[in-house]
Structure 1
Amino acid sequence: MAEANAAPGASAARSRDLHQRTGPLILANAWSIGSARKLEAMGFAAIGSSSAALAAGYGLPANQVERERVPCHAAALAAATPRPAPADLEDGFNTRPGDRAEPIRLAVAAGLAGGSMDDVTGDEARPIHDFGIAAARVAAAAGAAKSSGTGFVLTARAENFARGRPELDDTVVRLRASEAAGANVLFAPNLPTPQAVRAVCAAVSRLVNVLMGPLCPDWTLEELRAEGVRRVSRGHALAKVADDAWTAAARGVLEEGRFRYRRAVVERLGP
């Protein structure tokens, strides 16, 4: 385990410091110990996990990994590098508000700098928790984070746009409630336009995270900064690029009988 993450709360304290700096903090989402160490060597200041990347590594759909594997995977990434390591804790692995304390306690014990929790139900017919339940879950998580005394950075996610409910007004209401409940970072994945990003950033006073995943618009860091964004995460984007690259190289052997791996990657992804 990395020495810098050995003391409980050390990584969270560094994460708090990073979140207080001006300019967007880029959260590089790793998918393995090797990728975490490479991202650290490249100079990224914070390295997080991705539940979608973890699921893909097991050949499973997103959000289908057993609950025990998620904090263990995030802890392994945290131990691999001294960089602050927030985790994707999905929906907190349970449905009752009081139970939200358990994944926070596990994350703190693992030396994680923070974690994000969403308002997804897991039910396709009713994908998002009712407002009252969602707010209570954030309040429970925020209470657990605060009582840990580590400075754990809690990110609250409002998943409307990622779950087929493009309702900006409801998203803003949910993020405001999360802010009032004590969340440190607010996150609405898949906001579709700069105007939507601006509206969210203007509606709250806490730091706003924007996802730049595989299917997101090609916005620049400067454009995001201009809209008020304070943190940018990549989700499973980097993991997908890696997966596409080795898949293209392997397919080249089967389809062409050739072993020109670099050519296969270039043809699939571009130079």
Structure 2
Amino acid sequence: MNSDSRERAERFVELHREGCFLLPNAWDVGSARILESAGFPAVATTSAGVAFSLGRPDHDFFAEQAPEDRVDRETMMGRVREIADELTVPVSADLEDGYGEAPETVATTISMTLKAGAAGGNIEDFTGDRARPLYDEALAVDRIRAARAAIDTGGEPFVLVGRTDVLLVDGSLDECVRRANAYLAAGADCAFVPGAADAATIGTLVRELDGPLNVVMGLTGNALSLDDLRALGVRRVTVGGSIARAMYGHLLRAARELADQGTFSYADDQLSQTDLNELFRPGPQRH
């Protein structure tokens, strides 16, 4: 990690010390540059958005997506590196389940992520197997512990996020709290609980967890604002693949209008060529 990357990583660590911040999710360099231009202090990747940009489905249950259809680790690392190389703000990587069950595999994924220039990354406990949708809790903890050991060996600042998908597979809030706290105790710097979207659930998590909480908004319509989440005590807010899905929604509507009607109203709200050229023109700090 060079000095610029290290400085960005140190800034990212500091963002998790106090307060609440919004960490939007990009899927390629262009989307990341636009988010950076809006003034966000950091940008995350979305594995779903990356998969969609490659014409692939997101990591899902194997019954709906064969393992060989999943975006592989090398491809995802390449996209993370492309984004990190082009931004002046820290980048956090969506690493799904670490691209393998074994703790050693997760450790290798973390080492690769550090080399790609990321300042943080998520490791989740979702397996893709309907028979056991979550990794056994003891194994899941060992996977987080292995990730932390890889970070410590690398000797660079890095925010490790332990994600539990308990609520997404209809598990209990008690199990969610237990797993999240176990991941924090094993070395995660922040807990991530997708599916926590109402004030009561989020408030309980903030009170019961022994570390910072990340929640994701944009999975469905939600009345909670960033100010509401800040008041509840949330430390970090991401939006997952929701921006990518919104963009692809517009693309699909445009395609249907062209194919079905032969009209061009989809273009009424496009950004101008000049505006995009200005957004994507390299600045003095970029190469």
TM-score between both structures, scaled by the size of structure 1? 0.91
Deviation per CA, 1:11-67, whole angstroms, max 9, x where unpaired?
311211222242x11111111111111111111111110001111112211122112
1:74 pairs with 75, 80, 83, which one?
80
Q: Which runs of 5+ in 2 are unaligned?
A: 60-69, 271-287
- Output the CA distance in 1 between the equivalents of 2:223 and 2:244: 18
Q: Secondary structure at the match of 2:22?
A: strand
- Output the CA distance in 2 between the equivalents of 1:257 and 1:27: 39
- Output the CA distance in 2 between the equivalents of 1:68 and 1:15: 24
Q: Which amino acid aligns with 1:40?
A: E
Q: Secondary structure at the match of 1:201?
A: helix
Q: Describe how 1:163-242 pairs up with structure 2 within 5 A.
A: 164-215=169-220, 217-242=222-247
1:10 pairs with 1, 7, 18, which one?
7
**More deviation, 145-154/106-115:** 145-154
Alpha-carbon offset, residue 262 of structure 1: 4.1
Alpha-carbon offset, residue 216 of structure 1: 5.2
Alpha-carbon offset, residue 214 of structure 1: 3.2
Deviation per CA, 1:200-233, whole angstroms, max 9, x where unpaired?
1111231110001332523111111121101000
- Output the CA distance in 2 between the equivalents of 1:216 and 1:119: 25
2:133 pairs with 121, 124, 127, which one?
127
Q: Which amino acid aligns with 1:55?
A: A
Deviation per CA, 1:140-176, whole angstroms, max 9, x where unpaired?
11121222211110000011112x2231000100011
Alpha-carbon offset, residue 183 of structure 1: 0.5
Taking every aligned residue pair, what percent have the same amino acid on both sides?
A: 35
TM-score between both structures, scaled by the size of structure 2? 0.86
Alpha-carbon offset, residue 255 of structure 1: 1.3
**Counterpart in the other structure of 2:90:** 84
**Counterpart in the other structure of 2:256:** 251
Q: Retained in 1: the 8 A contact 2:197–2:217?
A: no
Q: Retained in 2: the 8 A contact 1:114–1:153?
A: yes
Q: Retained in 2: the 8 A contact 1:14–1:84?
A: yes
Closer, same or farther: CA 150–61 of 1 in aligned 2, 3 Å: same
Q: Retained in 1: the 8 A contact 2:197–2:215?
A: no
Q: Secondary structure at the match of 2:142?
A: helix
Q: Retained in 1: the 8 A contact 2:164–2:194?
A: yes
- Output the CA distance in 1 between the equivalents of 2:2 and 2:26: 17
Q: Retained in 2: the 8 A contact 1:9–1:152?
A: no
1:44 pairs with 20, 40, 44, which one?
40
- Output the CA distance in 2 between the equivalents of 1:115 and 1:123: 23
**Counterpart in the other structure of 2:16:** 19
State how many pairs are aligned.
260
Q: Secondary structure at the match of 2:121?
A: strand
- Output the CA distance in 2 between the equivalents of 1:17 and 1:264: 38
Q: Which amino acid aligns with 2:8?
A: S
Q: Retained in 2: the 8 A contact 1:11–1:111?
A: no
- Give structure 1 regions of 4+ aligned residues with deviation exceeding 6 angstroms: none
